[in-house]
Amino acid sequence: MKRIVLTLVAALFLQTFARADEGMWIPMLLKKYNIEQMQEMGFKLTAEDVYSVNQACLKDAVVIFGRGCTGELISDKGLIVTNHHCGYGQIQYHSSVEHDYLTNGFWAMSPEEELVNPDLTVTFLKRMEDVTARVLDGVNDDMKVEERNKIIAQNIKAIKEEAIKDTHYKAVLKPFFQGNQYFLFVNEVFKDVRLVGAPPSAIGKFGGDTDNWMWPRHTGDFSMFRIYADKDNKPAAYSKDNVPYKPAKHFPVSLKGVNEGDFTMVFGYPGSTYQYVPSYHLEMLTETVNPKLIDVRTEKLAIMNRFQEADPAVRIKYAAKNARISNSWKRWIGENRGLEILDAINKKQAYEEGFMAWAKAEAPEYADLLDKYKAVYKDYTNYNLTYGYYREMIPSNGIEIANLAGKMEALVALYKADELNAEAAQKLKDGLVKSVKLFFKDYYQPLDMEISAKLLSMYAENIEATFQPGVYNLINGKFKSDVNKYVDYLFAKSIFDEEAKVIEFINGFSAKSLKTLEKDPAYLLNKSFASVYGDKVYPQLKKYRSELADLDKAYMAAQMKYESDRIFYPDANFTLRVSYGQVKGYTARDAVYYKHYTTLEGIMEKDNPDIYDYRVPAKLKELYNNKDYGRYEVDGTVPVCFVATNHTTGGNSGSPVLNAEGHLIGINFDRAWEGVMSDLMFNPEQCRNISLDMRYVLFIVDKMAGAGYLLDEMTIIE
């Protein structure tokens, strides 16, 4: 009887969760699994139109923007569009109190006015290939893990070298299905990418962190860049002789808009998901890791917001840092809530019972997997939390002065070597001086002091005694447990909060400087935390992660056997994927149904000059009052955003949202609050991706920015 019940539970589970909307599919394999379903849902193109190595196709118009976003080509002159929040670092980089592009927006009115961005790249996928057999060549199940990994690493190296031999391409090779499959990606990376335009934050970040991860939404989250190439259309470092890149393909922009039920496809680079983890993983996140990290960030944000509100210069300096901290903070809160409402842990456990019953009966080699998982997560949870907390303390927007001091370790290593490599030392010094300048451009010492004190107290309270670094002996001894006194001393004595001193120190660095450094409290603070991490946390973390990697690989393979009829999609790993679904509203909670789109009316409803996030620019109000909407008007207003059922995650920001014809109808930029647990479990009833309607984008560029000339190079479908 029990067996039957379990099978039933498993079957129900599968039925609810194997739906059309869920999944991030490999473009090269659409033909095999998805294209028929996509066409049934309305898609008019073929698998070959999406991904092909023989002809120009949709994939040729999709790029990795920077390091963690997606972008797409919208003209044959290298014009790309991505999100405002993806170009945020660049927009901020060019901003100052005098030229405040964050606040006022920026539009290059001619190519000469476009702004050059050091270190910004755009990456095209040329081709991909399943290389599983070659990666696993020479390994077997009886081998020791180390030996196995060594052979795999050698194979990977050889495959990558061969793939890009005699070309300027870059090779990337990634595991799929937790190492049960491997794909090679051959990429082309462009290095001269210039800022063309961005709306003011009151449009591009309208609603700010208040509305972030929420629907209904009215954020005009876009910015535009242009790729430049050398005269042969090849990647080149910035040069004034470079010319606009001529892509193989760019997306026509459709002004036809969307109706509920319409097919939508998101084509981009989702970062990471965890769909196939055991229930222990969900327990770890919801009960321990998320709550603790949420608390640290709540405190950081409270301090930052206060300083930023008080001083416009500080507001600019900390704009990107604040957005970064706030973004995951809010997502973790939503993730916990979503998993709880979905009853995700119980669902996973029910699935696991079914799995175990099957394994015991039919695949005994997998019957101990869950017990093994249980044992690892029991200890891993604490190490994982400590690691997360350590990152919050210093490296990940924590105590900034200590983070900067920690950068000196590279110099220390050089000068401690038996023989000094003078050339390497000079190069390193130059690089460090550059990063020090960037550091101080966005630094405000009083803010850092307050956050430092808060973080040091929180760490002591939240992390167990074995992981308390030596610096607490000083705090509790000399400073009698008064963190504020210690922080006063830290900032009074260290040189690392003064730009001129740090630069002088680096430029004049010699063997003698090692002694000065050993007396600097910021350097010692970083060292004290780093050594706990390096000696006590990292080795264990590494051990557990490697054990988990083995278990994950086996559990993934086992799940595929257990549910042999199901078509699995691999977890996101920042490789190009297709998500398809349809435009659709949703029920957020009892009695609350959200429509699938928002309009300019909603922007005016939110308008509130007293709230920073809701200040509607005068120019937009003027257009609204005059109903000056031109061809972007629909039913007396302008559409702004829409939601659909595409399965997306971080990294998908900036992704093209395409209609049945493969035309650009939107730019993906977020997910709705009720569904952000989709990284762990997808709920078709409530998981929605949020996109910016292209009609609003063109309306802003054309009517508000007066940069209508850009529309001339686009292919617009009316």
Are 239 and 233 a contacting pair, CB within 8 Å?
no
Among 279, 382, 573, 649, binds ligand ASP (CB under 6 A): 649
Are 326 and 332 a contacting pair, CB within 8 Å?
no
Nearer to ligand ARG, 406 or 651 (CB): 651
- Radius of gyration of the CA atoms of the chain, in A: 26
Taking the complex as a whole, how short is the minimal distance between the CB of residue 213 and ligand ARG, in angstroms?
5
Reading the block at residue 48, the tokens are 């070959």
Whether 693 sits among the annotated catalytic residues: the reply is no
Q: Establish if 220 lies at the interface with ligand ARG (CB under 6 A).
A: no
Catalytic residue among 192, 221, 262, 448: 221
Residues 151-180 that bind ligand ARG (CB under 6 A): none
Tokens 């309009």, residue located: 599
Among 305, 327, 396, 462, binds ligand ARG (CB under 6 A): 327
> Which residue, 23, 24, 50, is CA-closest to 662?
50
Taking the complex as a whole, how short is the minimal distance between the CB of residue 679 and ligand ASP, in angstroms?
8
Q: Which of ligand ASP, ligand ARG, none interacts with 257 (beta carbon under 5 to 8 A by kind)?
A: none
Strand 181-190 to 170-176 pairing:
antiparallel
Catalytic residue among 84, 85, 218, 647: 85
Taking the complex as a whole, how short is the minimal distance between the CB of residue 654 and ligand ASP, in angstroms?
7
Among 283, 670, 674, 679, binds ligand ARG (CB under 6 A): 670
Among 349, 653, 659, 691, binds ligand ASP (CB under 6 A): 653
Nearer to ligand ARG, 335 or 497 (CB): 335
Nearer to ligand ASP, 331 or 703 (CB): 331
Among 21, 60, 192, 209, binds ligand ARG (CB under 6 A): 209
Among 9, 14, 248, 323, binds ligand ARG (CB under 6 A): 323
Q: Establish if 679 lies at the interface with ligand ARG (CB under 6 A).
A: no
**Who contacts 96 (Cβ-Cβ below 8 Å, separation ≥6)?**
316
What region, left, alpha or beta, does residue 682 occupy, with left being phi > 0 and alpha being psi -120 to 50 degrees?
Answer: beta
Nearer to ligand ASP, 381 or 668 (CB): 668
- Listed ranges 385-393, 577-585, 649-657, 691-699: which one lies at the site for ligand ASP (CB under 6 A): 649-657
Among 308, 326, 384, 678, binds ligand ARG (CB under 6 A): 326
Helix (H) or strand (E) run with residue 416 in it: helix 409-416
Residue 182 to residue 581: CA distance in whole angstroms? 27
Taking the complex as a whole, how short is the minimal distance between the CB of residue 571 and ligand ARG, in angstroms?
18
Q: Which of ligand ARG, ligand ASP, none interacts with 648 (beta carbon under 5 to 8 A by kind)?
A: ligand ASP
Residues 68-97 that bind ligand ARG (CB under 6 A): 85
Nearer to ligand ASP, 256 or 324 (CB): 324
Instruction: Give Cα 518 to chain centroid, integer Å.
Output: 37
Taking the complex as a whole, how short is the minimal distance between the CB of residue 328 and ligand ASP, in angstroms?
10
DSSP conformational letter for 252: P
Longest dimension (CA), the chain: 78
Tell me the backbone φ, ψ of residue 107, rounded to 5 degrees. Answer: -135, 125
Nearer to ligand ARG, 209 or 693 (CB): 209
Tell me the backbone φ, ψ of residue 296, rounded to 5 degrees. Answer: -60, -45
Helices (H), strands (E): how many in the chain? 30, 22
**Whole-Å CA distances, 417 to 196, 421, 512, 615:** 46, 9, 14, 57
Q: Which of ligand ARG, ligand ASP, none interacts with 208 (beta carbon under 5 to 8 A by kind)?
A: ligand ARG
Residue 188 to residue 171: CA distance in whole angstroms? 9
Among 307, 624, 669, 682, binds ligand ASP (CB under 6 A): 669
Q: Which of ligand ARG, ligand ASP, none interacts with 652 (beta carbon under 5 to 8 A by kind)?
A: ligand ASP
Among 155, 178, 212, 403, binds ligand ARG (CB under 6 A): 212
Residue 425 to residue 414: CA distance in whole angstroms? 7
Taking the complex as a whole, how short is the minimal distance between the CB of residue 400 and ligand ARG, in angstroms?
19
- Listed ranges 165-173, 532-540, 631-639, 665-673: which one lies at the site for ligand ASP (CB under 6 A): 665-673
Taking the complex as a whole, how short is the minimal distance between the CB of residue 268 and ligand ASP, in angstroms?
8
Q: Which of ligand ARG, ligand ASP, none interacts with 326 (beta carbon under 5 to 8 A by kind)?
A: ligand ARG
Q: Establish if 683 lies at the interface with ligand ASP (CB under 6 A).
A: no
Are 261 and 659 a contacting pair, CB within 8 Å?
no
Q: Nearest 5°: CA angle at 419, between 415 and 422?
A: 65
The neighbour count for residue 508, using CB atoms within 10 Å, is 10
- Closest residue to ligand ASP using C-beta atoms: 653
Taking the complex as a whole, how short is the minimal distance between the CB of residue 330 and ligand ARG, in angstroms?
7
Helix (H) or strand (E) run with residue 69 in it: strand 69-73
Whether 653 sits among the annotated catalytic residues: the reply is yes
Q: Which of ligand ARG, ligand ASP, none interacts with 649 (beta carbon under 5 to 8 A by kind)?
A: ligand ASP
Q: Which of ligand ASP, ligand ARG, none interacts with 573 (beta carbon under 5 to 8 A by kind)?
A: none
Taking the complex as a whole, how short is the minimal distance between the CB of residue 273 and ligand ASP, in angstroms?
10
- Listed ranges 138-146, 371-379, 618-626, 650-658: which one lies at the site for ligand ASP (CB under 6 A): 650-658
Q: Which of ligand ARG, ligand ASP, none interacts with 72 (beta carbon under 5 to 8 A by kind)?
A: none
Taking the complex as a whole, how short is the minimal distance between the CB of residue 314 and ligand ARG, in angstroms?
17
User: What are the E-state strand segments in 151-250?
Assistant: 170-176, 181-190, 192-198, 223-229, 243-244
Helix (H) or strand (E) run with residue 475 in it: helix 471-476
Tokens 């090849």, residue located: 234
Q: Establish if 373 lies at the interface with ligand ASP (CB under 6 A).
A: no
Helix (H) or strand (E) run with residue 388 in it: helix 369-393
Among 93, 213, 318, 377, binds ligand ARG (CB under 6 A): 213
Q: Establish if 652 lies at the interface with ligand ASP (CB under 6 A).
A: yes
Among 78, 179, 650, 675, binds ligand ARG (CB under 6 A): 650
Q: Which of ligand ARG, ligand ASP, none interacts with 406 (beta carbon under 5 to 8 A by kind)?
A: none
Catalytic residue among 579, 653, 655, 691: 653
Helix (H, G, I), strand (E, B) or coil at 458: helix
**Whole-Å CA distances, 466 to 395, 462, 469, 560, 627:** 21, 12, 8, 41, 65
Helix (H) or strand (E) run with residue 63 in it: strand 62-65
> Which residue, 120, 249, 81, 59, is CA-closest to 693?
81
Residue 268 to residue 575: CA distance in whole angstroms? 8
Whether 596 sits among the annotated catalytic residues: the reply is no
Residue 514 to residue 511: CA distance in whole angstroms? 6
Nearer to ligand ASP, 201 or 652 (CB): 652
Per-residue burial over 124-137, b = 16 or more CB atoms within 10 Å of its CB, e = otherwise = bbbebbebbebbbe
**Who contacts 431 (Cβ-Cβ below 8 Å, separation ≥6)?**
none
Strand pairing partners for 664? Answer: 253, 658
- Identity (one letter) of the amino acid at 712? D
Helix (H, G, I), strand (E, B) or coil at 572: coil
Q: Which of ligand ASP, ligand ARG, none interacts with 552 (beta carbon under 5 to 8 A by kind)?
A: none
Among 59, 577, 671, 703, binds ligand ASP (CB under 6 A): 671
Are 381 and 284 a contacting pair, CB within 8 Å?
yes
Q: Tell me the catalytic residues.
A: 85, 221, 653
Q: Which residues of the chain form contacts with ligand ARG (CB under 6 A)? A: 85, 208-209, 212-213, 323, 326-327, 650, 653, 670
Q: Which residues of the chain form contacts with ligand ASP (CB under 6 A)? A: 648-653, 669-671
